[in-house]
Structure 1
Amino acid sequence: MGLCHPLPVFISFLSKTFLFPGTMNLSDKPKTMIPKGVATFLPEETLCRRKIEHDLLSVFERWHYQELTPPIFEYLDVFSLGVGEEILDNAYKFVDRATGRIMVLRPDVTPQIARIASTLLADEPRPLRLCYSANVFRHQEEHAGREREVFQIGGELIGPSDAKADAEMISLTIEMLQSLGLKNFRITLGQMAFTQGILSRFKTDPALFKKVLSCVAKKEASQLETLLRQKALDDTSRREVLSLLDLFGGEEVLARAAVLTDDSVCRSAIEGLQSVYGILKAAGYQEYLLIDLGEVRGFDYYTGTIFEIFSEGVGIELGGGGRYDHLLEKFGTASPSTGFALYIERIQAALAWVSAQSKVTSRK
């Protein structure tokens, strides 16, 4: 496939797309302008991306995952069954001229896989191991510095509900990043059923719940304390909620969480995460793992173990995933499922950082 030179590739991508969007004279070259948040990839850049795609899909193949290609747009009323309000709000929509129905450029691939598994592959034996390479489209504010067209490579494991399946997703992720030459990355593990259990006492007050969720996500202790006083919680409940801000670290966090609450759902969730951690530890992956039980990304979507991937030199996650046991039933066929996706541009950024650090080290 040829060698990939990520540093000049990604610097070129950044400069054309995010860093210097205003340097082009609109009156001089209006035909060359493209919307912010998307990019044109020239031959060298495309070669690099194809190399990454090839390496990642090769790992999927070794794990016996089958690649499929979902459509780039779908009917909104069908697609909306599998996504939350926030994703739909940021989706690009248009009217189908043939039917008058509203269509949507896919903002997420997992709901598409869920629909396919629940309908076209409903009679196929489980487990189903499926993978994809696809772009998704989401509106982002210009100042956010995020892409509007995101290239993903991901996988879904449909059928199993045990810790081995969750561990398989994370093991796959680690093997993929290692195959690209990345070493200094970390994966934060969370347990959404545990977090949901701790925060369930706020569900009766949607406005307050939204504020509490935001505080937990941003680790804003003082603001969270203020909100808890509004709810007039007892000392035990207050301690449990505030603990979400501190349940971050190594394996010892799991032991602390196990005795935090008497709630049976929360305790069962921690036992499940301990099993996942144990499998990964036995496989020699402990050095990559951190625990973050205050992670609330996808609060109404995920149902169990969740994870995000971070790497040195990149200030945003390289990808993530988790268990979503209730998604497929929305399309007609219930089945426990888990999956993840990696973002190609961000992986390129991580590889660029590694390349730059290597050059600095070689000069010393």
Structure 2
Amino acid sequence: MTNPSCIEAPLPKGVSDFLPETADKITFIADSIHRVFELWGFRRMITPLLEFEDVLARMGDELRSKTFRFDDRQTGRLLAIPPDITPQVARVVATRMHALPLPHRIYYSGRVLRQAQMQSGRSREIFQSGVELIGLNSPEADAEMVAMAVEVLKDLGFTGFKVDLGQVEFYRGIMDSSGLGAEVKAQLQEAISKKEVTAVRSILEAAGAPERVKEEISLLPRLYGGREVLKEAARIAGNERSKKALDNLAQVIEILDIYGVAEHLTIDLGEIRGLDYHTGITFEGFVPGIGEAVCSGGRYDDLTAKYGYPAPATGFTFNILALLASMAKRPEVEASSSRDFLIFNKKDERREALEVAQKLRSLGYTCARDIIKRDFESSLDYAKKTDIRMLLVIGAEQCAADQLYLVRVADRRAVAVSKEELFDKGLELKFDQEGENHG
């Protein structure tokens, strides 16, 4: 609830405040992702919030069109807020890490801003956690990205999710060998990206395309499914570029079989997302109940060369807010926003309260002291509203001199415990039927 007497303080469209409960959940999800990244040998990099626009512009026209820009009063140059962290990693690797041995295994986490159409309702602020594997041009490197994404989703407790695999070189080979003009190709690209089979056929008919070209291109939006897609694609692929792309995809899938993640894979050769950016394998991860991808990535062998250091590269990123939308109500995520103890001191002297709090923290528990002077019920209500699990009363009438009074906030069940028992068992203390029910 907002304060009716507060000053008007609206936010720009497309950005949000994240209050502590939500911020705790975002942190929990990000930490879970980073734990997997580190287990796979990746090291964290932190990139700046600002870049010179002409430096960042080398990432390509698609992302450049979504970039926030403004003047730098100090230099007179145009500054930009990055719409994606991958180009920043490419810049750092090319300019500051080129003397180090390859490959570079880098992970990152941060917020980026992207321009969005006002009527779209989409957030302009994106929380990203991703990895970049720079310096390896092999199917195993691409497979590693997909396998790691699957491991993260499993680690987060998802079931029934799918990772769609694409290969943009297959599409490029078919289009380049078609003999069609640039305008017709642009129309087809838009229709294929939307899976509009009828529109694709109409464009080809109007362009007078040969039957072979019609068959190849008309099939693109329908090349979606299991491994049978590879056989169907091989049947129509009449150029070496597309055949090589299919062979690469088959090798990646073969390696993913070793990782044991085949059940989560689908093939989509009509997926042409990021066509001006990716150079090979692409993939997107989808979880039940969410219409947008929670992770996406692929191979991008040309990016570091734009900063003077040619190196093959592959990577992917998670959209943390999309993950949050799909798992915010899960028990383990809900628990991540709770705290352990609130100390309510009924004694005039504060030493015991501070010493107990310090000891609990040294044992790894979160512990706050209710410094405000208020009665028991008010303190219990505060604990409930701020998602604290236990109220620890010092100096309660129900206790002996060497005891503390522990109240479980959720159901008000209480028990008198010694300090030794509390410090030994903490939150694992049993609230049996003999425990009091305060109030």
> Residue 52 of structure 2 aligns with which residue?
75
Using the alignment, how far apart are the partners of 1:32 and 1:172 within structure 2?
42
> Residue 139 of structure 1 aligns with which residue?
115
Number of residue-to-residue matches in the alignment: 331
- Partner amino acid for 2:106? L
Contact kept in structure 2, 1:202 and 1:209, CA below 8 Å: no
Are 1:236 and 2:212 an aligned pair? yes
If the length of structure 2 is used for normalisation, what is the TM-score? 0.72
In the TM superposition, residue 207 of structure 1 has moved relative to its aligned partner by: 2.9
> Residue 10 of structure 1 aligns with which residue?
none
Are 1:158 and 2:134 an aligned pair? yes
1:2-81 counterparts in 2 under 5 A?
A: 31-81=8-58
1:122-201 counterparts in 2 under 5 A?
A: 122-201=98-177
Q: Secondary structure at the match of 2:126?
A: strand
Counterparts in 2 of 1:205 and 1:98: CA distance versus 1, 3 Å = farther
Q: Secondary structure at the match of 2:316?
A: strand
Contact kept in structure 2, 1:79 and 1:112, CA below 8 Å: yes
In the TM superposition, residue 298 of structure 1 has moved relative to its aligned partner by: 0.6
Q: Secondary structure at the match of 2:328?
A: helix
In the TM superposition, residue 353 of structure 1 has moved relative to its aligned partner by: 6.9
Larger radius of gyration, structure 1 or 2? 2
1:327-338 counterparts in 2 under 5 A?
A: 327-338=303-314
- Partner amino acid for 1:265? R
Using the alignment, how far apart are the partners of 1:177 and 1:114 within structure 2?
26
Query: Structure 1 or 2: larger helix share?
Result: 1
Aligned residues: percent identity? 37
Using the alignment, how far apart are the partners of 1:150 and 1:217 within structure 2?
23
Using the alignment, how far apart are the partners of 1:204 and 1:351 within structure 2?
46
In the TM superposition, residue 260 of structure 1 has moved relative to its aligned partner by: 1.5
- Per-residue CA deviations over 1:227-284 (Å, capped at 9, x if unaligned) read 1123221111111001101100011111211222221111011010001111112221
Contact kept in structure 1, 2:170 and 2:242, CA below 8 Å: yes
Counterparts in 2 of 1:192 and 1:30: CA distance versus 1, 3 Å = farther
In the TM superposition, residue 354 of structure 1 has moved relative to its aligned partner by: 6.1
Unmatched tracts of structure 1, length 5 or more: 1-15, 17-23, 356-364
Select which of 281, 285, 293 maps to 1:309.
285
Unmatched tracts of structure 2, length 5 or more: 332-439
Contact kept in structure 2, 1:202 and 1:208, CA below 8 Å: no
In the TM superposition, residue 201 of structure 1 has moved relative to its aligned partner by: 4.8
1:88-127 counterparts in 2 under 5 A?
A: 88-127=64-103
1:210-225 counterparts in 2 under 5 A?
A: 210-225=186-201
Using the alignment, how far apart are the partners of 2:175 and 2:285 within structure 1?
24
Q: Secondary structure at the match of 1:31?
A: coil
The higher relative CO (CA closer than 8 Å, separation ≥ 6) is in: 1
Using the alignment, how far apart are the partners of 2:177 and 2:158 within structure 1?
41
Are 1:264 and 2:264 an aligned pair? no
